[in-house]
Amino acid sequence: MDLTKPELLPAPIDEAMTTRARRGDIPPAPVPEPVAAIPPLMAATTPVEAEVPRPVVTDTKPAEPAPNEKKAAPKNNELLLAGLAALLLLGLILVAVFALRGRLKAPIAVAASSAPPLAANLAPAPPPTVVAPKNILTPPAPAPAVQPVEPVPVVVEISPPRPQNNYSVMLPGSVALELVWIKPGDFTLGSAVDDPNHKKDEGPPTQVTLSQGFWLGKYDVTQAQWSSLMGDTPNENKHKEASRPEDNITWDLAMEFCRRVTERERAAGRLPAGYEYTLPTEAQWEYAARAGGADSAPGGGAARAWYAANAGKTTHPVGLKQANAWGLFDMHGNVMQWCRDWYANFPGGAVTDFAGPATGTRHVARGGNFGSAASDLRDARRFAHPPNYQNNGVGLRLALAPAGN
């Protein structure tokens, strides 16, 4: 309560009343009863302002007391007003304190009940979760530049040849050369004297035993197979075609072809132990041509060979005629085939793994060619030429045979 407000100041002094008071006409103002202290609870709920009686201010000079009347004490009035003001101020302070206490009590209790344990407060806070904003248009990333893809060569795993099984040797450029397994066995090499087509160099007949099997080309070596390994072809035939037999081959060139195949297969780990790619011996060639039977009829029949009667003075693609009993094509006709042996007379009697003499001047060729007569197409018929001999009717057939024979 502001005690400086005008309504709480003392009223102006009335001179007449003062004179009467001096004479004793007006009795002194009664002293008000002390106001009881307001209980704290009531002050906190419904504060009540006590009506303060306006004090009567007398002259500054003390009035003389009337006879037989107790002396008035003006100081008592001032003390009463000061006490009332202090009580009112105390009541307002208590009201404010209780109100503030009531507001803070509930939040403090809630906070205390929901507060986590101290250990939990000390635990590291989890990393904030980043939420990608939605509905934001993001420009698409540029497409990566297309790099040219180099072709990957296809590597075909080829196992080494196994006895009893046919085999294909892979030449450069993935050109396959098929080989037929020829089992070991024995036969009579050459022809008997009483054979009407017998030639002098075909005897005496010799009993030959081949103790080891070998592989022999299913066809004559073709122009495609030759050029894949040797490059330029020496073929002089005007009919150049990949599937025709390579011709115009000297014995030396034929052996060089075999040597290169051996090197490739040995490097690839596919060469059987004790074997090499080479030309067949004369005994191996005739054994395979007979295919377990007697000497072929002259010409071998038009169904099996290209020769003077049906070839038209030229070679033909391999494999067009019938194969013999062991699956070999063009053993007669088309082109004659070089053998590894030096040319010499047969020894007669019985021989194991016959391979001819160690030296000589001419090498054996077998099978006849597209210009041969029918009588030159027999299994026992022999031809011989120097190592450097070239003719468009001479080619080769590859063998995979025991080395050193």
The enclosing domain of 262 has a CATH number of 3.90.1580.10
Confidence at residue 156, expressed as pLDDT on a 0 to 100 scale: 47
The verdict on residue 65 lying in a domain is no
Residues making up the chain, counted from first to last: 405
Quote the tokens at residue 42: 């009531």
Decide if 230 is inside a domain.
Answer: yes
* Pair 229, 96 in one domain: no
Find the helix or strand (DSSP H, E) in which 375 lies. none
Let me know whether 101 and 217 are in one domain: no
pLDDT at 144: 65
d(CA 367, CA 91): 143
- The answer on 101 and 197 residing in a single domain is no
The rounded Cα 278 to chain-centroid distance in angstroms is 44
Query: Is residue 80 a part of any domain in this protein?
Result: yes
Question: Which two structure tokens, joined as six digits, stand for 113?
Answer: 């009940």
Measure the CA–CA gap between 366 and 332, rounded to whole angstroms: 8
pTM of the model: 0.62
What region, left, alpha or beta, does residue 119 occupy, with left being phi > 0 and alpha being psi -120 to 50 degrees?
alpha
DSSP three-state, residue 395: strand
* Residue range(s) defining the domain that contains residue 258: 167-402
**Nearest Cα residue to 69 out of 13, 30, 32, 34:** 30
Say if residues 187 and 286 touch (Cβ distance below 8 Å): yes
Is 40 among the domain residues? yes
Estimate to the nearest angstrom the gap between the alpha carbon of 308 and the chain centroid: 61
Give 99's contacts (C-beta < 8 A, 6+ positions apart): 44
First-to-last alpha carbon distance for the chain, in angstroms, is 141
pLDDT (tens digit, 0 to 9) for every residue of the chain, 405 residues total? 444 444 444 444 455 454 454 555 545 555 445 444 444 443 334 444 444 445 444 444 444 544 444 444 556 677 788 888 888 888 888 877 777 776 655 444 444 444 444 444 445 556 656 555 455 455 566 666 656 555 554 444 567 788 889 999 999 999 999 999 999 999 999 999 988 889 999 999 999 999 999 999 999 999 999 999 998 766 665 567 899 999 999 999 999 999 999 999 999 999 999 999 999 999 999 999 999 987 666 645 678 899 999 999 999 999 999 999 999 999 999 999 999 999 999 999 999 999 999 999 999 999 999 999 998 999 999 999 999 999 999 999 999 999 976
Domain check: are 257 and 393 in the same one? yes
- Which 3 state secondary structure label does DSSP give 294? coil
Distance, in Å, from the CA atom of 153 to the CA atom of 175, rounded to the nearest integer, reads 15
Q: Which residues contact 338 (CB under 8 A, 6 or more apart)?
A: 249, 251, 254, 279, 363, 364, 365, 394, 395, 396
According to DSSP, the residues that pair with 395 across neighbouring strands are 337
Q: What span, in angstroms and rounded, lies between the C-alpha atoms of 103 and 87? A: 25
User: For the packed helices 251-267 and 223-230, what is the interaxial angle rounded to 10 degrees?
Assistant: 70
300: alpha, beta or left? (left if phi > 0; alpha if psi -120 to 50): left
How many domains does the chain contain in total?
A: 2
Nearest-angstrom CA–CA distance, 367 and 377: 6
d(CA 393, CA 373): 13
Same domain, 178 and 304: yes
Give the Cα separation of 57 and 10 in Å (integer): 6
Domain boundary (83, 110, 137) is at: 110
HSE of 131 in the Cβ direction (CA atoms, 13 Å)? 3
**311 and 196 in one domain?**
yes
Same domain, 261 and 171: yes
- If asked whether residues 93 and 194 sit together in one domain, one would say no
Residues 105 and 188 in one domain: no
Which phi and psi (to 5°) does residue 365 adopt? -130, 145
Q: Retrieve residue 374's tokens.
A: 């029918």
Instruction: Check whether residue 186 and residue 290 sit in a common domain.
Output: yes
Residues 267 and 337 in one domain: yes
Structural tokens at position 204: 């005496």
Q: Do residues 95 and 244 both lie within one domain?
A: no
Classify residue 187: in a domain, yes or no. Answer: yes
